[in-house]
Chain A
């Protein structure tokens, strides 16, 4: 029988992992995995402001305010790229490091605030989730993350067709009158909100692992979007369970342990998955050139 603390930790971790895993699947398919990385760093100044004004991230306006900074960062990256003439990857690196630096300066300046310190920024603190004030019978962070997951599921459920089409065939989607920009910014907005509400649990950096990891695992296991989403969610839940066990064993940070387990799951999928290392070379389209005999090579009998 696991204690109630353990239960809340695993549940909260799973809520983070499933919500980010679902969103990450779309990011991965849209070749935007690193945008998730950038957003998760860029929300830090927003989070610092939220703490400055209300001391926590437990109200809707603070969450939305902090998430808005993440959304703005994607617009900034776009602007540096298109107007400033920087390559896309460099403009991403420039914007998110700048915002993160501003955030760290903010954290240092806040100083005395016990709820927001540098460690929290890097890896959050899941271990004490059980001590949080209750909201609707659950620790506050857990309730908020559950609400976030429901929001993500709701949007994905209602907008599945739009997201599907704009992801796989943006040209066709645009031709039949679906706004690619709308779905793009909706996805960016959801990623920003999820990053912000996951912040206290896993910090600003490890959330990247949950955005990309489960999606990458699913990507190695299936070709179908519904199954990709399912595998992403399942591997996220397992990472939460396994991560808790590992962290309890070593008496170490839970979020870090979950990430390590995700890495291990990915390794398994990479080694044995149907689209992983073992089969990739065989699947690659044959050009016919492989069969050509080099000039002067002896003809095999």
Chain B
């Protein structure tokens, strides 16, 4: 155990327990602020408790939390009400109203606090801690208060979880089924103010917003479930609070609140980067895999197109059987489509491993050069892509009335996404067509050429598009 960490110091335990309780309680409420896109409302409440604290001090002539917290509570609620009233009753938008109320309340609080300081002397020192937070000064009695508030918040949220869930995800529905919308919003506001009121003493008014929002933002990357997200946010907040408290305990003159916020921000950033599925890295990996799959499919499609061109009679005459793949060199493939050479080679290696492509050695009779050939299976996969591409072009021209020369790019993108079920449905909707709007035969599902009549029998009506 390192020298500096005096685990037997009761003060350390007080600070740890206090910051963890406050952090977890704020995180629970913050989840809803985060989900409802009201991240900065907590910021506004935090700044706005200041004048209430100052006035409560003047009226009550005491620095005890029992006197100051009710003042903070009332002024926080008043600020929320003002934001709402301004946004509802004038052309000022909610965001501007939030910023205005926040700064005016805060400025008034500063005015009152400096006035108290100069008129009443050193007694104001106890109010300072609300500005930057002072976790080191947590008393055992404070701890009971924090625990009581945290428990109250947790119980309220547990009881009203269903209602809050609806309020967060589908407020219109909640209103429509006659939920007491305003009362629920009010309850959430009261809970937020409560969390802020106990939080500002540990991290200060400015950083309180982070105590609400940052754990929720971090938790969001790990889960899609509200219950899990609440627990995770509380856990992340507890971790950040502990880390921050440890740093400020170990290093002299370091403030607790800012270190808690730095730790929480680091956790949030790490979650954003590395969380499975929703994290940045996971998404990049998924995107790259998807891009490679598209590149491979385009290679197979190029082989099918080459096979069609080589023997159009096989590709479009009924019962002519499976066309065979021509042998294409890398240069020929690059001529057909603007592949990136490096990714083309990677695609072909992978396709070869999957048994969809095979390397062909140069024939001794020198008739055909060395290159690559699609296996029957690979050719079928290429045929399927061409089939979906052409079905989609036909769908766009016939059903959506888009000009035939405008549909290619769209089909080029969709061909990689259509599932076999959608493919079947598309074919049924189009009544098992033979040809696409450009006159090319639509390959059959088994990869043989179309049953189609050839294009002279069924002229394409240019007005069809």
Taking Cβ atoms with an 8 Å cutoff, the residues of A that contact B are: 28, 31, 33-34, 36-37, 41, 80, 83-87, 89-94, 97-98, 100-102, 104-105, 108-109, 111, 118, 122-123, 205-206, 208-209, 211-213, 215-216, 219-220, 246-247, 250-253, 255-260, 262-263, 266, 270, 273, 275-277, 280-281
A216 to B99, CA, bound (A): 10
18 pairs across A/B with beta carbons < 8 Å? A31-B95, A31-B96, A33-B99, A34-B98, A93-B213, A97-B206, A98-B261, A100-B261, A105-B259, A122-B131, A122-B206, A252-B115, A256-B107, A259-B103, A259-B110, A270-B92, A277-B90, A280-B89
Known: A252-B115, A262-B104. A105 touches B254 (CB 8 A): yes
A93 interface neighbour in B131, B210, B220, Cβ under 8 Å:
B210
A33 to B109, CA, bound (A): 21
A residues near B262, Cβ cutoff 8 Å: 98, 101-102, 105
How close is B93's CB to chain A, nearest CB, in angstroms?
Answer: 6
Those 6 A-B pairs whose CB atoms lie nearest each other, nearest first: A259-B107, A256-B110, A263-B104, A97-B210, A209-B103, A256-B111
Closest partner residue, chain A, to B101 (CB atom): A263
A170 to B259, CA, bound (A): 41
Contact A205 B47 (CB under 8 A): yes
A156 to B60, CA, bound (A): 50
Q: DSSP class of A's interface residues: helix, strand, loop or mixed?
A: helix
A251 interface neighbour in B115, B220, B265, Cβ under 8 Å:
B115
Contact A87 B110 (CB under 8 A): no
Closest partner residue, chain B, to A96 (CB atom): B209
Known: A84-B272, A94-B213. A252 touches B254 (CB 8 A): no
Question: B34 in the interface, Cβ–Cβ < 8 Å?
Answer: yes
Known: A122-B131, A216-B92, A259-B111. A87 touches B39 (CB 8 A): yes
B residues near A219, Cβ cutoff 8 Å: 91-92, 96
A12 to B204, CA, bound (A): 29
Taking Cβ atoms with an 8 Å cutoff, the residues of B that contact A are: 34, 37-40, 42-43, 47, 86, 89-93, 95-100, 102-112, 114-115, 118-119, 131-132, 206-207, 209-210, 213-214, 216-217, 220, 253-255, 257-259, 261-262, 265, 268, 272, 278, 280
Closest partner residue, chain A, to B278 (CB atom): A85
B106 interface neighbour in A36, A90, A105, A206, Cβ under 8 Å:
A206
Contact B39 A89 (CB under 8 A): yes
A36 to B100, CA, bound (A): 11
Known: A97-B265, A109-B253, A208-B99. A86 touches B272 (CB 8 A): yes
A residues near B268, Cβ cutoff 8 Å: 94
Contact B272 A208 (CB under 8 A): no
Contact A260 B39 (CB under 8 A): no
